[in-house]
Chains A and B, each alone.
Chain A
Amino acid sequence: DIVMTQTPLSSPVTLGQPASISCRSSQSLVHSDGNTYLSWLQQRPGQPPRLLIYKISNRFSGVPDRFSGSGAGTDFTLKISRVEAEDVGVYYCMQATQFPLTFGGGTKVEIK
């Protein structure tokens, strides 16, 4: 199974300041078709997860452009350019390159 490791576990951020979350996979997520199926989800308190980013860097419909994804191979990053109050929650990376589909352990973003 591909193990997804996220850092940090928690990220206290000042409103308006940037935040960055790292996700590392135990093996390359490059699929045989050349795509990399790494996505990011946001889970606000008491809510179900919501898709933010798919295939490393593609924002899903309705996702603000302050969210961006980058990376390649085994190392990926989610960035929030200017954190807003509504961004509080837990963020998960997920790989879909290989079954079983696996998630990172989550990173909690909170306001300082």
Chain B
Amino acid sequence: QVQLVESGGGLVKPGGSLRLSCAASGFTFSDYYMSWIRQAPGKGLEWVSYISSSGSTIYYADSVKGRFTISRDNAKNSLYLQMNSLRAEDTAVYYCARVRIVWLNPMIVVVDAFDIWGQGTMVTVSS
């Protein structure tokens, strides 16, 4: 079955680093765009980052730009999020999600929705 499993969360001190992973199965990972979304404790959802199927197109939320790096390894069916210079406000459950896209033409895609979500991994930034 289609599945996304995140790992790598934990407790880290402010200014520290953490690398999250998302293992995909049940679908052809290399065909899909992927994204990270986070949810602070008791709060709503915040989109973090997005990567195209080849890795050539990447976007970040302003709140993480310059500190977080999204990447993927299609041979390993895996998505990653390298998080540096972590702050208390980065404390959240981090979800990876598969992106539904619409092809406008062979060169241009549009994001439609997030159709498959992982269970999430908790990141706590605290001294």
User: Which residues on A are within 8 Å of B, measured CB to CB?
Assistant: 31, 33, 35, 37, 39, 41, 48-51, 54-55, 60, 92, 94, 96, 99-106
Interface centre among A37, A41, A96, A105 (most CB of B within 10 A): A96
Q: A35-B110, A60-B115 are in contact. Are A104 and B47 (CB under 8 A)?
A: no
Q: Which B residues between 69 and 106 are near A, CB-CB below 8 angstroms?
A: 95, 100, 102, 104
Known contacts being A49-B45, A49-B95, A105-B44, is A99 close to B113, with CB within 8 Å? no
A84 and B46 CA atoms in complex are apart in Å by 28
- In the complex the two chains form, is A101's CB within 8 Å of B117's CB? no
**B47 and A101 within 8 A (CB):** yes
Kindly name the residue among B45, B114, B119 whose own CB sees the greatest number of chain A CB atoms within 10 A.
B45
Q: Does B31 contact A (CB under 8 A)?
A: no
Contact of B111 (CB < 8 Å), options: A51, A96, A104, A106: A96
Chain B positions near chain A (C-beta within 8 angstroms): 35, 37, 44-47, 50, 59, 61-62, 95, 100, 102, 104, 110-120
Chain B's closest residue to A105 (CB) is B44
User: Known contacts A35-B110, A103-B46: does B115 contact A51 (CB below 8 Å)?
Assistant: yes
Q: Which 10 A-B pairs have the closest CB atoms?
A: A39-B113, A54-B113, A101-B47, A96-B111, A48-B117, A103-B45, A106-B44, A51-B115, A105-B44, A100-B61
